[in-house]
């Protein structure tokens, strides 16, 4: 590290740098693999499952409203899958911060969904989990 700070070696190796001659990268997990594992587990617990997407983006509260609309549809029409159902998605949503509030995407997702599901039976459950390092 000191050699880099002193300018004796380049700070950032470039693409063809020899330092990478023995570097190998292996992808051992991904968002879609995590979603598929969640789907398989839910199936073993007796749920019908649907993976909406592994690439969901957009304002978190709006994404939550889409998910709750699907939950309402399942309760009313058994579409796109019959109950008991597990709706699964992944991606990276955005929260527009106004004021000094605390919380993040998962809290925003759950709160927005709960406001939308307040009149539904208590058997509807919302879960939003952050994946990755803190």
Residue 128 burial (CB count, 10 A): 20
In this predicted structure, the answer to whether residue 39 has a pLDDT above a threshold of 90 is yes
Asked if 85 and 47 count as a contact pair (C-beta separation under 8 A), the reply is yes
With H, G, I as helix, E, B as strand and everything else as coil, classify residue 96.
coil
Measured CA distances, 94 to 60, 61, 63, 69, 129 (Å): 5, 9, 10, 19, 14
pLDDT for 125: 85
pLDDT digits (tens, 9 = 90+) for 85-134: 999 999 999 998 888 877 788 899 999 999 988 888 878 888 887 755 44
Sign of the torsion formed by the C-alpha atoms of 107, 109, 115 and 121: negative
pLDDT for 134: 46
Half-sphere exposure of 69 (CA within 13 A, CB side): 7
pTM of the model: 0.74
pLDDT for 10: 65
Distance CA 89, CA 87 (A): 7
- For the chain, the average pLDDT equals 88
Tokens of 52: 């909406």
Helix (H) or strand (E) holding 41, with range, is helix 31-44
Here the contacts of 127-130 (C-beta below 8 Å, separation 24 or greater) are: 130/104, 130/105, 130/106
pLDDT confidence tier of residue 53, bands split at 50, 70 and 90: very high
What mean pLDDT comes out for the span 18-33?
88
Domain spans, the chain: 29-117
Kindly report the CATH class assigned to 29-117: alpha beta
């Amino acid at each position: 590290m000191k050699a880099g700070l002193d300018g004796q070696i380049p700070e950032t190796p470039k693409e063809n740098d020899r330092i990478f001659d023995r570097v190998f990268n292996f992808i051992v997990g991904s968002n879609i693999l995590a979603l598929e594992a969640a789907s398989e587990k839910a199936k073993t617990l007796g749920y019908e499952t649907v993976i909406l997407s592994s690439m969901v983006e957009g304002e978190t509260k709006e994404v939550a409203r889409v998910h709750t609309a699907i939950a309402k549809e399942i309760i009313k029409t058994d579409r796109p899958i019959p109950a008991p159902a597990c709706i699964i998605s992944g991606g990276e949503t955005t929260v527009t911060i106004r004021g000094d509030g605390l919380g993040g995407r998962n809290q925003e997702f759950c709160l927005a969904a709960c406001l939308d599901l307040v009149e539904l039976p208590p058997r509807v459950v919302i879960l939003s989990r952050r994946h990755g390092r803190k």
